[in-house]
Amino acid sequence: MGAVLLVLCVNLASLSLARAAGRTRDSAIRTALGASRGQLMRQSLMESAVLSAIGGAGGILLAFWGVRWLLAAAPIDLPRLADVSLGQPRASIRAGDFAGDGADFRYTSGAAQRGFAQSI
């Protein structure tokens, strides 16, 4: 499960950085029209939060379905089969990971955009 979530986080990070790179011109225009750096960062963080929430919910839902599918496909005589589950504490920790990763990557890309906007 950890590997799947790691891959999902990396994919979301690359998507976030690609979107930030594509929006440098948009950010420069908004800055020229009077938008403050705070407004640009808030917009960027909000987009990141929505993307992270959707990706995190999808990943956790996929993990729950995957565990159920594996339990249904497992042989009956497998030891400790009844102990296999994806508990709520694990899902909560992963949800926090998604939120933190999304904010970290967006903040980094936002700082890079700010440096680009100041150089214009």
pLDDT (tens digit per residue) in 77-102 = 888 878 877 777 777 777 777 667 66
Helices of type H across the chain? 2-22, 24-32, 37-73, 88-119
Burial (0-12, 13-18, 19+ Cβ within 10 Å), 97: middle
Query: Residue 114 pLDDT more than 60?
Result: no
Phi, psi of 80 (to 5 degrees): 60, 30
Is-contact 120 28, C-beta < 8 A?
yes
The model carries a pTM of 0.60
Query: Residue 75 pLDDT more than 60?
Result: yes
Which DSSP letter does residue 74 get?
Answer: S
